[in-house]
Chain A
């Protein structure tokens, strides 16, 4: 109880500092710390799946992405600023009151889909409820989410401009040696998370994020990593969505409906989709972060 209170105060203070400070580097570093604290909150709210994803994405990849872009952006930006007036503050207060009322009223009418999920869990092919929801009960949502990721990646590719500042130089080979040691371990952890996903927290998203972090690490150490011109890589980027929809169509022919699997084969199909989706998510996230990094053009002219 006291712990919750301290954690909440800490988070609110960090969020305030993050939006209030005038130093952008400080804002980013506070944002990364905020991601770590929020991962703690998710574990406290009994959502370890989400905590895994937040620890990998919010506390890891987001920091690298923001910093890589901060160096390329000019100091002053043409952000539209509003002058603070009593009108703005009163609107803000009214919105706060309305949201507070909504939060209070939603608390008094508890609704849960959990009984429904648990009733159908045995026929989903996995034993972990969150994975069952993601890849069986609401599989179409997850497939479309992968498509959104792909779309954002394509849009970002077309927007990007090629003037980069180089990495800060380093002396000695400590970074390279350590990354060479860490890389197999990181890939092993990604596979482990994927494997755990069917019975306990873990799964394609978390595994993909950890894979992306592994490739990011290789890039930061300037070791030979992925070659973005390779055809197999492009297939890998598209693979998640494609396999997802093919398996979905297969369900249509077998009479289980689009995106439905027969109950006895569900486990195998889910494992296949999850492995390809994890690879795809990892590649997409890695390339989204790497596009904004120095030296990216060297390998993809």
Chain B
């Protein structure tokens, strides 16, 4: 049952992120929105991975039916790639800002 809740939360995160991506005022906030969307995708993947082991029965289920390891490995690499994408996006933003400043001074 809780898998359903988290799947819907993932859907909500993706939609909120999309809204923020289009509507926010500053490039940095758009990057944050992209990361919120990414968290939504990760959450859906992990919710699907945990589907066979209902979270309400963790002490029993954790021993007999562990969550699927393949999506977990995927999300683990995804988180590291997301932070490197964030760092690259911020560097691009700063370059863009200095370019804009130079153009307005000339």
5 smallest A-B Cβ distances: which pairs? A19-B20, A129-B69, A152-B84, A133-B73, A159-B91
User: 16 new A-B pairs (CB below 8 Å) besides A45-B49, A58-B83, A292-B90?
Assistant: A22-B25, A24-B28, A27-B29, A34-B39, A54-B79, A57-B79, A62-B83, A69-B90, A77-B27, A77-B97, A110-B51, A132-B69, A133-B70, A138-B70, A205-B76, A209-B80
For residues 182 through 202 of chain A, which have their beta carbon under 8 Å from a beta carbon of chain B?
none
Query: Are the C-beta atoms of A69 and B94 separated by less than 8 Å?
Result: yes
Query: Are the C-beta atoms of A114 and B52 separated by less than 8 Å?
Result: yes
Tell yes or no: A12 within 8 A of B by CB. yes
Q: Compute how far the CA of A141 lies from the CA of B76 in the bound complex, rounded to whole angstroms.
A: 12
Q: Compute how far the CA of A78 lies from the CA of B14 in the bound complex, rounded to whole angstroms.
A: 24
Tell yes or no: A180 within 8 A of B by CB. no
Per-residue CB contact flags for chain B residues 56-81 toward chain A (1 = under 8 Å, else 0) read 10100010011111101101110111
Nearest B residue to A121, CB-CB: B69
Q: Compute how far the CA of A289 lies from the CA of B35 in the bound complex, rounded to whole angstroms.
A: 17
Query: Are the C-beta atoms of A156 and B18 separated by less than 8 Å?
Result: no
Tell yes or no: A249 within 8 A of B by CB. no
**Which of B18, B68, B76, B86 makes the CB contact (< 8 A) with A65?**
B86
Chain B residues with a Cβ under 8 A of chain A? 1-30, 32-33, 35-36, 39, 42-44, 46-53, 55-56, 58, 62, 65-70, 72-73, 75-77, 79-81, 83-88, 90-98, 100-101
Determine chain A's interface SS by DSSP, over half rule. helix
Per-residue CB contact flags for chain A residues 3-39 toward chain B (1 = under 8 Å, else 0) read 0110010011001101110101001100100100010
Query: Are the C-beta atoms of A20 and B9 separated by less than 8 Å?
Result: no
Per-residue CB contact flags for chain A residues 209-234 toward chain B (1 = under 8 Å, else 0) read 10000000000000000000000000
Query: Are the C-beta atoms of A96 and B15 separated by less than 8 Å?
Result: yes
A50-B75, A77-B27, A159-B95 are known contacts. Are A149 and B58 too (CB-CB below 8 A)?
no
Set of chain B residues within 8 Å of A5, measured between Cβ atoms: 5
Query: Are the C-beta atoms of B10 and A103 separated by less than 8 Å?
Result: yes
Query: Are the C-beta atoms of A292 and B91 separated by less than 8 Å?
Result: yes
A53-B80, A74-B101, A133-B70 are known contacts. Are A24 and B6 too (CB-CB below 8 A)?
no
**Which of B2, B66, B88 makes the CB contact (< 8 A) with A4?**
B2
Set of chain A residues within 8 Å of B8, measured between Cβ atoms: 8, 103
Set of chain A residues within 8 Å of B62, measured between Cβ atoms: 46
Query: Are the C-beta atoms of A65 and B87 separated by less than 8 Å?
Result: yes
Q: Compute how far the CA of A74 lies from the CA of B62 in the bound complex, rounded to whole angstroms.
A: 49
Query: Are the C-beta atoms of B46 and A156 separated by less than 8 Å?
Result: no
Q: Which of A81-89, A166-174, A253-261, A263-271 contacts B (4 or more CB under 8 A)?
A: A81-89
B46, chain A: closest CB distance, angstroms? 5
Set of chain A residues within 8 Å of B9, measured between Cβ atoms: 8, 11-12, 41
B23, chain A: closest CB distance, angstroms? 7
Set of chain B residues within 8 Å of A84, measured between Cβ atoms: 23
Query: Are the C-beta atoms of B32 and A19 separated by less than 8 Å?
Result: yes
